Amino acid sequence: MLMRESISLHSVEVLASCERLMRTGSHSFFAASRILPQRFKHAATAVYAFCRVADDAVDEMPPGASIEIVMDYLRERLDAIYRGEPFLIDADIAFAAIVREYAIPKAIPMALLEGFQWDASSREYETLEALYDYATRVAGTVGAMMALIMGGRSAQTIARACELGVAMQLTNIARDVGEDASRGRIYLPLQWMREEGIDPHELLHRPQHSAALARVVARLLRVADQLYVRAETGIASLPRDCRPAIMSARLIYADIGRVIRQRDCDAVGQRAVVGKPRKWWLMVRALMSLLLAPPKDYLLQPLAAVRFLVAAAPVGERDAVQPDLLISTIGLLERLGHRSRSRRSQI
């Protein structure tokens, strides 16, 4: 496989290629990125591009192709990135520059690839804890990488970033129950479904709304809300000019849950969407985070599922967060927050 001898994130060709992926993959991210200072968006775009092409490699496997072969290929590409000799793929070249510049541990994108493999195998999750493991891989990893890029080097910051990703993932799962079932996938905890008298595999054959299913969806949304509250502890610890952007991400995703509840937790019929006027109102509301007082000596134990990511991160004593990169978390997690639905749909 041909490889480039030098890594340049700032190559016009490489950046243009990565930005095209962003433009076609997430309208929300692209819209947000247009108002960001140029000096801040390149790193986030590079992470997005790598996650996108890896995601597509799994999703677009030809019929009859072996997932093991595809995963071996992705791991080979990741190995090359960490050797500083990326394949001749623009997203890999850009990501290799980010890995080097921000010291992103290999264990984090490796866990992301593992999550993709779980999806391809239509893995199911018996308990909430098992679902946490999945959400950590496909969304918590994104939070961890973004936090490192933004300069978040404390264990608490990394943990809260991972948990915010998990919360967003759970919200997306609650929203997309019907779409997932139509694709032969179930992400709700099977144990919860059985407790409500639901046969999980009957849902695959005949997805339909019911009071019992609504209770499962509501239960998952309550768990997500608890994680959103935890995330605010981390938001308050950020520099003041960073808080509105990340609070916007937290509020917009949590608001999807509000829309679902307004529809009696029907996650099989019409898909819950937060409209543009509402998004703008939430972004204005997020400005109130400027008034949050930084917590003193706060210490929350991270979810068990995210501890391996926190342990892998190069933790330092202080955080030095780049404020504008936080906005990009909205679009990046929109893309990776729930891979089973259409990759072109929006919040």
Contacts of 137 (CB under 8 A, 6+ apart): 111, 112, 114, 115, 118
Residue 163 lies in a domain: yes
Instruction: Give the three-state DSSP class for 88.
Output: coil
Residue 23 lies in a domain: no
Domain extent for 305: 108-336
Say if CB 54 and CB 113 are below 8 A apart.
Answer: yes
Beta bridge pairs of residue 3: 87
Residue 52 lies in a domain: no
Residue 127 lies in a domain: yes
Residue 194 lies in a domain: yes
State in Å, rounded, how far the first CA of the chain is from the last one: 38
Which CATH number do you get for residue 131? 1.10.600.10
Helices then strands, each counted (H, E), the chain: 17, 0
Please give the pLDDT value at position 71: 94
CA pair distance 62, 25, nearest whole angstrom:
21
Please give the pLDDT value at position 48: 81
Residue 299 lies in a domain: yes
Kindly list the averaged pLDDT for each block of 10 residues, start to end, along the chain of length 347: 47 62 51 41 79 86 85 96 92 91 95 94 95 96 86 84 94 95 94 96 92 98 96 74 75 94 93 89 82 68 95 68 42 48 43
Say if CB 179 and CB 341 are below 8 A apart.
Answer: yes
CA pair distance 100, 221, nearest whole angstrom:
37
Please give the tally of structural domains in the chain: 1
Residue 160 lies in a domain: yes
pTM assigned to the model = 0.84
Please give the pLDDT value at position 242: 64
Residue 87 lies in a domain: no
Amino acid letter, 236: A
